[in-house]
């Protein structure tokens, strides 16, 4: 069960994309936070969490995402979530996560939003 | 009526979600409602396994699906004796408090269930455990009067209104 989620880091100029594949549940915590901290230690300031290939999220997974949002706040990082899945977006809005990490329907949209946020 | 019985073991809830999704699709539920129902049932199963049965895999969770004219009624029953009070009586989660570390990051399951289904009712089961009964209509709010009579209705503007 501990391999339900895989996370890889992809660097696009100025933006670090974390690509998640699988399920975001209780078992995802170790993997996701380890990769996030490695990206942060490498100097990531703008992070896009790509949930395009996530097929399942539950309440424990939401708690992990909140933990990640909390970490980005402490490190003054900019975080966005790529989430084409309408149901997941609805759930994040119910929880209120979208107020702290903007939701984007595509990677292009997320990158454009990050670029726009950089402009003075 | 469809009935599923399974041991209190993490991961089983995903099998039940797939079954519920298949039934809801067969009954003509739109995709969004199927997703709402699957997540609500998954959370109810997790609560039953954790809070009702303390993840004792010898204790079963029973899920019953019953098709109604405009929707689907789902009950999730555990065989446990305690642990639910904390879940039922906890106020709605405060995201800001969780982000600042003032409260536990967990505690979203019941909150989500209340938002995703049309009716929620919490009962003591005849076997001594607990039962969470949920009603989901094909379209949100598409009420079926003969089935809502006598139930505790969920008020979307006040997620805590169905607490005992």
Domain ranges of chain A: 5-118
Instruction: Check if the beta carbon of residue A19 is closer than 8 Å to that of residue A7.
Output: yes
- What's the CATH code of the domain at B89? 3.30.565.10
- A29-69 pLDDT, tens digit per residue, is 999 999 999 999 999 999 999 999 999 999 999 999 999 99
* Contacts B115 to A, Cβ<8 Å: 94
Instruction: Check if the beta carbon of residue B63 is closer than 8 Å to that of residue B4.
Output: yes
| pLDDT confidence of residue B104 | 84
Q: Per the CB < 8 Å rule, is B95 touching A99? A: yes
Q: Per the CB < 8 Å rule, is B95 touching A96? A: yes
Which residues lie closer than 8 Å to B34 by C-beta, 6 or more apart? B21, B24, B25
Would B164 be classed as within a structural domain?
A: no
Q: Does B101 touch chain A (CB under 8 A)?
A: yes
Q: Per the CB < 8 Å rule, is B106 touching A59? A: yes
Would B157 be classed as within a structural domain?
A: no
* H, E, C per residue of B19-41: HHHHHHHHCCCCHHHHHHHHHHH
Tell me what the pLDDT averaged over chain A comes to: 94
pLDDT band at residue B160, thresholds of 50, 70 and 90? very low
pLDDT band at residue A71, thresholds of 50, 70 and 90? very high
Nearest chain A residue to B115, by CA: A94
Domain extent for B55: 2-148
* Contacts B159 to A, Cβ<8 Å: none
- pTM score over 0.90: no
Alpha-carbon distance A44 to nearest alpha carbon in chain B (angstroms): 20
Number of compact structural domains in chain B:
1
DSSP state of B50: I
- Best of B20, B36, B55, B95 to substitute, by most chain A Cβ atoms within 10 angstroms, is B95
Would B69 be classed as within a structural domain?
A: yes
Sheet strands (E) in chain B? 2-7, 60-67, 71-77, 119-124, 130-137
| pLDDT confidence of residue A75 | 95
- B80-122 pLDDT, tens digit per residue, is 776 677 777 778 888 888 888 888 888 889 999 999 999 999 8
The mean-pLDDT minimum among A5-19, B22-36, B138-152 falls in: B138-152
Q: Per the CB < 8 Å rule, is A66 touching B105? A: yes
ipTM of the complex: 0.88
Instruction: Check if the beta carbon of residue B50 is closer than 8 Å to that of residue A25.
Output: no
The CATH T-level fold of domain A5-118 is Transcription Regulator spoIIAA (3.30.750)
Q: Does B16 touch chain A (CB under 8 A)?
A: no
| Closest to B119 (Cα-Cα) out of B146, B92, B140 | B140
- Best of A57, A59, A67, A91 to substitute, by most chain B Cβ atoms within 10 angstroms, is A59
Look at residue A1 and tell me whether its pLDDT is greater than 50: no
């Amino acid at each position: 069960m501990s391999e339900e989620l895989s996370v890889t880091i992809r660097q696009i100029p100025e933006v670090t994309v974390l690509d998640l594949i699988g399920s975001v549940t209780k078992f995802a915590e170790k993997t996701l936070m380890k990769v996030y901290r490695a990206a942060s230690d490498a100097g990531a300031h703008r992070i896009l969490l790509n949930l395009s290939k996530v097929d399942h999220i539950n309440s424990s997974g939401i708690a992990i995402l909140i933990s990640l949002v909390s970490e980005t706040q402490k490190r003054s990082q900019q975080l966005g979530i790529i989430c084409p899945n309408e149901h997941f977006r609805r759930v994040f809005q119910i929880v209120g996560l979208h107020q702290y990490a903007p939701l984007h329907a595509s990677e292009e949209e997320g990158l454009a939003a990050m670029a726009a946020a950089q402009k003075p | 009526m469809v009935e599923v019985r399974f041991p209190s073991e993490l991961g089983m809830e995903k099998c039940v979600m797939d079954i519920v999704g298949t039934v809801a699709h067969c009954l003509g539920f739109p995709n969004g409602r199927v997703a709402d129902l699957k997540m609500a049932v998954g959370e109810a199963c997790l609560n039953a396994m954790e809070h009702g049965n303390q993840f004792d895999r010898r204790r079963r969770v029973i899920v019953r699906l019953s098709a109604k004219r405009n929707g689907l009624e789902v009950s999730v029953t555990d065989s446990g004796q305690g642990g639910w009070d904390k879940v039922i009586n906890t106020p709605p989660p405060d995201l800001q408090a969780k982000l600042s570390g003032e409260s536990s990051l967990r505690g979203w399951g019941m909150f989500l269930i209340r938002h995703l289904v049309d009716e929620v009712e919490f009962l003591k089961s005849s076997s001594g455990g607990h039962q969470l009964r949920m009603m989901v209509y094909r379209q949100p709010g598409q009420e079926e009067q003969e089935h809502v009579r006598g139930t505790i209705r969920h008020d979307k503007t006040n997620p805590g209104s169905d607490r005992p």
